[in-house]
Amino acid sequence: MIKLRRLAKSFSHAFHGVVVVFRSEQNFRIQVAVAVLVLLSALWFRVRYEEWIILIFLIGAVLVLELVNSILERIVDTFKPRIHPVVKEIKDIMAAAVLIASFIALLVGVTIFYPHIVLLVETL
């Protein structure tokens, strides 16, 4: 049986986690701002249903990966000081994962929005 009080507390903890990362991680704030711009652009250009699904999925993937990156950074920092070379490599690899996901999302976004932007420019 679902206990509503426990469920509400779980959602509260999860929301607090998002707030913590939003306040402490500049990259997460930038990614959220870009996500809002992408969603507003999708509304403006009236992208197709399939394109909405792709955009939402990629936004979610990048944001979740950034959350995982933040988690991993905090974990490795508790075990070893920041100056340890293995800790630096772990952080760099995780940052690379976020970068690659963001770059792929950018390429897909450009592919989706390019025809709309060309059409807009041609009508000006």
| Residue range 63-119, pLDDT digits in tens | 999 999 999 989 888 877 667 788 888 889 999 999 999 999 999 999 999 999 999
The pLDDT assigned to 13 comes to: 94
66-69 long-range CB contacts below 8 Å, 24 or more apart?
Answer: 66/21, 66/25, 66/27, 66/28, 66/31, 66/98, 67/17, 67/18, 67/21, 67/28, 68/94, 69/94, 69/95, 69/97, 69/98
The pLDDT assigned to 116 comes to: 94
Residues with Cβ within 8 Å of residue 107, at least 6 apart in sequence: none
Over pLDDT 70: what percentage of the chain? 98
Give the angle 31-39-115 at the CA atoms, nearest 5°: 110
The pLDDT assigned to 82 comes to: 62
Q: Which residue has 């979740």 as its token pair? A: 64
The pLDDT assigned to 81 comes to: 65
pTM for the whole thing? 0.89
In one-letter notation, the amino acid at residue 44 is W
For the chain, give the mean pLDDT: 93
Mean pLDDT in residue range 49-73? 97
